[in-house]
Amino acid sequence: MFGKMKLLLRDRSGRASKRRNINTNVYTSTRNVGTSQGIRSNNNTKEIAEDKCTIFDKKHLQTWILVFVLMVITAGVAVAIFLSLRSSWRNERQQQHDILFGKEYEDNTLPNLGNGHLVIDRKQWGSAHIPNNLSESLKHPVPYVMITHVGVQSRPCDNLYNCSIKMRTIQDSAIAEKKWNDLPANFYVSNDGYIYVGRGWNNVNEYNNRSLAICFMGDYVRYEPSSMQIDGVKYLLAYGLTKQFIDKRYRLVAHNQTQTTKSPGVNVYKEIVKLPHWHPCGVDGVTKCDI
């Protein structure tokens, strides 16, 4: 009996051991399956994340490329506009310098040299009547242009009313005190850049018979010439060249280069020496001016 009981206990313990082994194997298998699925799940998650990053990077790169292209196009348009405007400004400036004495103006109006430089004729500033036969004719084209000033502590004038009074005063002094036939210079330039006709293009000035005399209306030992005055002279000379009143190789000189005088004043002199046709005759040992 005891033997049967031992056999029965062994048999039961063997069955229990088998069950434990089976359960252990199942658990291990299940655990391994779960682990492998977890690994696969993690790998899939990484792959999806990497795919998303790749898509994002591509979209990001495309956006930056588009922005760069737009910036290049915008810069190109801006440069094209700038070049077009600069060309337009240059053409406008050139056209301004090409505007000279016009013929398309009505009677009793003021001729215009361009850029606001009006020409005030003798009648308009109130000149005294001077017989034409009192003046010698000026031969064209003249080889010299001479720059003078009024001097004698004369204040520059800058409006039509005051400058017209100054012109009549200069004329009265020239005729009554100095016994000249007329005021001395061919043209007078005011502080506002207007050109007042003195003896004009066709009559010899009081200084010599080989030059066109242009006078700055003021004392330019004491005062500075305005930029409008300098421009007015340039426009007047340009017109004289186009009409062949002035030789295309003319020499621009100051009054004090031809004789001992303070005219045209140090402040005008330092400006005219910058002009293209200025000639140093009579200065620092250079041969005297032939006028």
- Predicted confidence pLDDT, tens digits, the chain (291 residues): 444 444 444 555 555 455 555 455 544 444 444 444 444 555 555 555 555 555 556 667 778 888 888 888 888 888 878 777 766 555 544 444 443 444 444 445 668 888 889 999 999 999 999 887 778 999 999 999 999 999 999 999 999 999 999 999 999 999 999 999 999 999 999 999 999 999 999 999 999 999 999 999 999 999 999 999 999 999 999 999 999 999 999 999 999 999 999 999 999 999 999 999 999 999 988 999 988
- pLDDT number for residue 20: 52
- Statement: the pTM of the whole predicted model exceeds 0.85: no
**CA distances to 42, 69, 227, 255 from 118, in Å:** 91, 53, 15, 25
User: Any idea where the domains of the chain sit in the sequence?
Assistant: 1-98, 119-272
- pLDDT number for residue 87: 61
| CATH class name, domain 119-272 | alpha beta
**Is residue 138 a contact partner of residue 180, using CB atoms and an 8 Å limit?**
no
CA angle 156, 159, 164 (to 5 degrees): 85
Six-digit token string for 109:
């109006």
